[in-house]
Amino acid sequence: MLTRKSLLAGASALAALSLVAPAFAQEPIKIGEINSYKVFAAFLDPYKKGMELAVDQVNAAGGVLGRKIEVVSRDDNGNPADAVRAAEELLSREKVAFLIGTFPSNVGLAVADFAKQKKTLFIAAEPLTDKIVWDQANPYTFRLRTSTYMQTAMLIPDAVKLHKKRWAIVYPNYEYGQSATAAFKKLLKEKQPDVEFVAEQATPLGKIDAGAVVQALADAKPDAIFSSLFGPDLAKFVRAGSERGLFKGVEVFDLLGGEPEYLDPLKDEAPDGWYVTGYPWNDIKTPEHKKFLDAYQAKFKDYPRLGSVVGYSTVMSAVAAIKKAGSLDQEKLVAAMAGLAVDTPFGPITYRPIDHQSTMGTFVGQLGVKDGKGYMKTWRFVDGKDALPSDDDVKKMRPAN
């Protein structure tokens, strides 16, 4: 039988509960995320796990603005039109606060343009094209990942030291590969004016005819090769080139070849001595990386890939922006992103006000093979801020608006 005393006790208990659990008192803050999960699963499966770890940590710590966060994801099939439709649906139906994600550069550019039209914040996680923060930049788009220009600039010192004159180039024929190739040719020519580019092979993404490509490069008799191939295309190129002796006496630089997503599947076929950017996850001893590594392995019983770091850091960037803005108002969020400082597994980064590019760095070194596996046998970490053009050059490239 209910008494006045029991009713008062129940009311007191409910009041106390509301005081200790403010993070769950409101609907979660939804963040809309778009990516090419089916097309680029090797990178994006770990990326999704990285996001999940970040969401768990943020919510366990009380959320943000007194609310949980929730990432609502959509697959864009690697298609710009599908990505824009997904972005529209996330904003109109799911009522997300803003947008994050994307992988291919052409898809990232499409979503960036959509964000500009809708005046909605977009944190581009992975698209590497330089256009997204320079030539086709807009006030609402910010980019986390180290760009094609930045990663190429990190490889240039090693290329210059070798002083190879005859270079061949191979790349996937879409925005990322085109952007990487343009940056490499420009930066190397500036440092080594006598360089010659004797062959160039643009291959359809995911459909490389490795035998024909290798033969064309071999016919040009290069001293060195610059590649921006990745994934299955890279694996096919490595195998065909090794079988036909393309790499004997030839120095090879591959832009993403040290990332576990693309290196691990090669196993003992990993090409010894190649110069790459990558992620030597098991050799990094910094406190911030150890904290991330321990948490990731405890949750997933697996080692992180570079995608894991990108997914985690993207969510942490979004949360930091909301905290700094103190609001979900788009203009306040955009203002908060300019100069935003974020702690990541690679150390602190800043989103530069001048071009909305983060200063996330990466690891540069050479590949080796040990115990039947490829690994980065030598490496150094390069801070992203040290691989960017001058402010004057950025101002010339980035639209005034």
| Per-residue pLDDT reduced to its tens digit, 261-274 | 999 999 999 999 99
CATH code for the domain of 88: 3.40.50.2300
| 96 close to 28: Cβ distance less than 8 angstroms | no
79 and 40 in a common domain = yes
Please indicate, yes or no, whether residues 227 and 258 belong to a single structural domain of this protein: yes
Q: Is residue 7 part of a domain?
A: no
Residue 59 C-alpha from the chain's centroid: 23
What per-residue confidence (pLDDT) applies to 191?
96
Same domain, 167 and 230: yes
DSSP category for residue 368: E
The Cβ of residue 286 has, within 10 Å, a number of other Cβ atoms equal to 13
The pLDDT assigned to 12 comes to 47
Does residue 205 sit within a domain? yes
User: What confidence tens digit (pLDDT) does each residue in 222-246 have?
Assistant: 999 999 999 999 999 999 999 999 9
Structural domain span for residue 77: 25-147+284-361
pLDDT digits (tens, 9 = 90+) for 137-192: 999 999 999 999 999 999 999 999 999 999 999 999 999 999 999 999 999 999 99
Residue 20 near residue 38, CB atoms below 8 Å: no
Check whether residue 216 and residue 241 sit in a common domain: yes
Give yes or no for a contact between 109 and 131, defined as CB atoms under 8 angstroms apart. yes
270 and 303 in a single domain? The answer is: no
Considering the domain architecture, whether residues 121 and 153 belong to the same structural domain is answered as no
The number of distinct structural domains making up the chain is 2
Give the phi and the psi of residue 34 in degrees, each rounded to 5: -125, 135
Residue 397 lies in a domain: no
Rg of the chain's alpha carbons, rounded to an integer? 23
Contact between 384 and 149 (Cβ < 8 Å):
no
pLDDT of residue 19: 41
Domain-embedded: residue 132: yes
Place of tokens 């995320």: 33
pLDDT band at residue 401 using 50, 70 and 90 as cut-offs = low
- The answer as to whether 398 is a domain residue is no
Assess whether 258 and 371 both reside in one domain: yes
Residue 401 located in a structural domain: no
Same domain, 69 and 97: yes
Task: Name the pLDDT band for 2 (thresholds 50, 70, 90).
Answer: very low
Query: Is there a single domain that holds both residue 325 and residue 270?
Result: no
The pLDDT of residue 49 is 98
Residues 239 and 153 in one domain: yes
Percent of the chain whose predicted confidence (pLDDT) is above 70: 94
- Per residue in 276-298, pLDDT tens? 999 999 999 999 999 999 999 99
In a domain, 2, yes or no: no
CA-to-CA distance for 48 and 145, rounded, in angstroms? 15
On whether both 111 and 203 belong to a single domain, the answer is no
- Indicate whether 327 belongs to any domain: yes
Confidence of residue 399 (pLDDT cuts 50, 70, 90): confident
Q: What is the three-class DSSP state of 351?
A: strand
User: Do residues 188 and 259 share a domain?
Assistant: yes
